[in-house]
Amino acid sequence: MTKTITRRRILSGAPALAGGAILAAPATIAAASSVTTWRMQTHFPTGTWYYDAIFQDLARRITTATNGELVIETHAPGSIVSTGDSLMAAAQGALDAAFTFPAYWVGQIPAAGHLNGNLATFSNNTEMEYYMYEMGALDIIREAYAERGIYQVGPIAGGGVTLFGKRPVHKPEDFKGYKIRTTGTAARVLEKMGAAPVSVAGGELYQALQTGIVDAAHWGSVSGGMSMNFQEVTDYIIQPDLVSPTNLELFVNAGKWSQLGEDHKQVVADAVRATTGIYTARIMQADLNGVDTFVNKAGGEISMMEDSVLEQMRVKSLEVVDEISAQDPKYSGRLGALLHDFMRQTGKV
């Protein structure tokens, strides 16, 4: 029997706001002199609310905070290179920077999976930032990206991972045979849960759901899925989120980064970290509106997973972490050890 969920219950699972007043306003530079221009591309589809409210807003903040000394030109997905080539393009200088999704690179940089976030680990932004900044995970991730000629500025929390599907999920066995569009390490975890992961490009996802190529998908949180019109081709929002938050990233060509003064580097780093709080607040509003639209206008339902689902997913997620640690001991091994410590400290295992 499908359970219902209230707006209050959705709120209780939303990521805690990160940042605060200090992070909300990156340091500013007093007077403009020479101008540096970066071309930054994203994977965010144009026409979505977050293309302007997050991607372009971040670029504007950096340009304003540097008094116009560092101008960020924003570029839509595929306008310079394909999304899948963004990492290589930034390393080679075809792009100066990219605001994108770490899951794309797990085959090249296994440590990117930890930046993206592992299923059933983080419960809020504070936990994520504790792992990244205070436990030192981001320093290790930066080492891994540096081998590719890339400077990893840091994570940007992008809300949770919300599953939209054509049938409900209540128990672990409900994942069996479920064709789910997913990426990165999440695909490996969901496969261990019994699902059948399918790789589908974002632009083809609506049609894949419509035609039955996949039966479920995630594209960020509730509002991310709604921006892709999932409410038209699915019947259920499955809760709670599989992890909250999952992270995006901003990375820069290593040479371009080294040419910046320390003041401009600090502005970029502060702007990236501040965007976590900004994005979270805007996502919360959009998610609450999205739930209302899904249930009351599109006629969908909320399917609540039992606690046993996330408990089992946590076990499977750490199994995948350990497998990747064995394959990449130099970076993922150290990150995996930190994650095990984090899970123990937070009482999740």
Tens of pLDDT, residues 110-158: 999 999 999 999 999 999 999 999 999 999 999 999 999 999 999 999 8
The domain made up of 163-243+299-345 is a member of CATH 3.40.190.10: yes
Q: Is 213 helix (H, G, I), strand (E, B) or coil?
A: coil
> How many Å apart are CA 86 and CA 95, to the nearest integer?
7
Q: What's the pLDDT tens digit per position in 270-309?
A: 999 999 999 999 999 999 999 999 999 999 999 999 999 9
Domain ranges of the chain: 18-158+247-287, 163-243+299-345
What pLDDT does 321 receive?
A: 98
Length of the chain: 349
pLDDT for residue 1: 44
Whether the predicted pLDDT of 15 surpasses 50:
no
Beta strands in the chain (DSSP E): 36-42, 70-75, 97-100, 150-157, 163-165, 179-181, 196-198, 216-218, 236-239, 247-253, 301-304
pLDDT bucket at 11, cuts 50 / 70 / 90 = very low
Instruction: In whole angstroms, give the CA distance from residue 115 to residue 102.
Output: 7
β-strands 97-100, 179-181: how paired?
A: unpaired
pLDDT band at 3 (very low <50, low <70, confident <90, very high): very low
Quick one: DSSP state of residue 162?
Answer: P
3-state SS assignment for residue 271: helix
pLDDT in tens, 162-201: 999 999 999 999 999 999 999 888 999 999 999 999 999 8
Model pTM score: 0.86
Longest Cα–Cα distance in the chain: 65
Query: Rounded to the nearest 10 degrees, what angle do helices 334-345 and 137-146 cross at?
Result: 160
Going by pLDDT thresholds of 50, 70 and 90, the confidence category of residue 26 is low
Residue 91 neighbours by CB distance under 10 Å: 18
pLDDT reading at 31 higher than 80: no
Average pLDDT over all residues of the chain: 92
Query: Distance between CA atoms of 22 and 43, rounded to whole angstroms?
Result: 29
pLDDT above 90 covers what percent of the chain?
A: 86
Going by pLDDT thresholds of 50, 70 and 90, the confidence category of residue 204 is very high
Q: For the chain, give the percent of residues with pLDDT over 70.
A: 91
Instruction: Answer whether 18-158+247-287 and 163-243+299-345 agree in fold.
Output: yes
Residue 188 or 24, more confident: 188
DSSP-based three-state secondary structure for 60: helix
What per-residue confidence (pLDDT) applies to 7?
41
Position 5 pLDDT exceeds 60: no
Task: List the one residue out of 217, 278, 268 whose CA is nearest residue 245.
Answer: 278
The domain over range 18-158+247-287 is classified in CATH as 3.40.190.170? yes
